[in-house]
Amino acid sequence: MSSPQSNKRLLALEKVLQISRDMVATNDLDELLGVIIDRSMELLDSERATLFLYDADSDELFSKIAAQSGEIRFSAGAGIAGAVVRSKHVLNIPDAYADERFNRDVDRQTGFRTRNILAVPLLDHSGDLVGVLEVLNKHTGSFDDHDITLAETLGAQAGVVIQRARLLVHYVEKQRMEHALQIARQIQQDLLPKENPQAKGFDISGWSSPADETGGDIYDFLDLGEGRWTFMLADATGHGIGPALVIAEARAMLRALSGAELDTPTVMAMVNDLLTADLSQSRFVTCIFGLIDSQAGTVRYVSAGQGPIIFYDRQSDKFDELPATALPLGIMEGTEFDEQVERRLSPGDMMIITTDGFFEAADADGDLFGTERMCQIIRRCRDLTADEIIENLRRNVFEFTGPVPQADDLTAIIVKKMD
């Protein structure tokens, strides 16, 4: 016949099995932690329990749920829980106030009186620490060896289930972020021109490829009528969601002001002041904004930090690299943009505008693609269409960098004068 003690132990093991079933019944991390806390108090006949998760990156313990207590975060080297982190073994503290590792401040803040503690490491299937469970104040005396065995059994199962739930949380968050980035990328792609300008006597093309899901580059064309088109190419510092938002704002401002019959310097000055008010000191936008006049055969622009702007003269077979005409947008309110560049293009002449992702593209040895290599390619392709010239630049950049991942956004505009 089974003894009362044996029956008690069998009942406790049955509770552990039930707890295991309860734990695997949910994938919600907060709900899971609540189950572990509640069931551990029942299993070990205690007044209170706190579960600390381990943050390996910061080497901290923190509680997402604490029965009848607030959230706590502290160094993983501190206190009784910290001792468990170091040893990865159960600690049975029969008298909390007699142990110098015990932090009495929590009791003083909550009004709770801690008598004894059973601190349990929660380990995943690889034996790595997931967290620490502290069970406080056994109702009948102190925790014994049987309680330690139960706690170890519970801790081993809880650690694996918590790790699984945390991985699921990370997976769901990653999927959510990827979905959001896909939407952001699609929105940004929708902001790019659907077709190139059809300006009489000109062959004009633009292209952009972000380094990440979203980028900090953009280009745009706007038909003003009577053979006049505005063009812009801009590059916000960095690449990703933040610069993508900044560059979309800059594009919207330039578009809105382009139809207001304002001259180019005035438009740029107004956009600069608006961006300066909106952006932090660490962000700015390089931008070239100008006008193509197909009737006059001219291009005119202001360049806020965007350069070099390359002109190719077909008759002399020479290149001219022009620097920016002003500071980037968003750096200083009241910046003047009075200096303009105007060029009349003859048949075969070109204006080539690229972001620095082209000429600063680096190979595995750290060598840069450079503007000289760009000019050599343009010279070889001078009789091709603007689309084809950009395609040759793009292909040569990727062949040059080889297996090195694209480090920066790539954006280009080519304006070519036809016969």
**At residue 189, what is the residue type?**
Q
Nearest in space to 117 (alpha carbons), one of 84, 93, 148: 93
pLDDT tens figures, 355-365: 999 999 999 99
Nearest in space to 320 (alpha carbons), one of 295, 297, 345: 345
The DSSP bridge partners found for residue 299 are 292, 343
pLDDT tens figures, 159-215: 777 777 777 777 777 787 777 777 777 777 788 899 999 999 999 999 998 887 667
Q: Where residue 2 falls among pLDDT bands split at 50, 70, 90?
A: low
Task: Mention every residue, 6+ apart, whose C-beta is less than 8 A from residue 410.
Answer: 207, 208, 209, 211, 217, 354, 355, 357, 358, 361, 394, 397
pLDDT tens figures, 102-159: 888 878 877 889 899 999 898 887 788 888 889 999 988 889 888 888 888 877 777 7
Distance CA 49, CA 411 (A): 58
Residue 239 in contact with residue 360, Cβ under 8 Å? no
Distance CA 265, CA 268 (A): 5
Annotation: CATH topology of 185-417: Phosphatase 2c; domain 1 (3.60.40)
pLDDT tens figures, 327-363: 999 999 999 999 999 999 999 999 999 999 999 999 9
Q: Do domains 4-167 and 185-417 have the same CATH topology?
A: no
Is residue 70 predicted with pLDDT exceeding 60? no
pTM (2 decimals)? 0.64
DSSP state of 148: H
Domain residue ranges of the chain, discontinuous segments joined by +: 4-167, 185-417
CA 233 to chain CA centroid, nearest Å: 24
pLDDT tens figures, 213-268: 667 889 999 999 999 999 999 998 876 677 888 888 899 999 989 877 789 999 99
Is residue 306 predicted with pLDDT exceeding 80? yes
pLDDT cut 70: percent of the chain above it:
90
Cis peptide before 243 (omega within 30 of 0): no
**At residue 27, what is the residue type?**
N
Tokens of 123: 């380990």
HEC string of 273-294 equals HHHHHHCCCCCCEEEEEEEEEC
Distance CA 279, CA 298 (A): 34
CATH number, domain 4-167: 3.30.450.40
Q: Where residue 7 falls among pLDDT bands split at 50, 70, 90?
A: low
Nearest in space to 256 (alpha carbons), one of 286, 220, 302: 220
Please report the pLDDT score of residue 19 as a whole number: 62
Instruction: Calculate the average pLDDT of the chain.
Output: 86
Name the pairing type of β-strands 60-66 and 202-209.
unpaired
**Owner of token pair 């014994």:** 144
Distance CA 198, CA 194 (A): 12
Please report the pLDDT score of residue 66 as a whole number: 46
Q: Where are the alpha helices (DSSP H) in 75-233?
A: 79-87, 105-110, 145-191
Q: What is the mean pLDDT of residues 53-61?
A: 85
Please report the pLDDT score of residue 248 as a whole number: 87
Give Dmax over CA atoms of the chain in angstroms. 110
Residue 229 in contact with residue 276, Cβ under 8 Å? no
**Measured on CA atoms in the order 395, 398, 399, 400, is the torsion positive or negative?**
positive
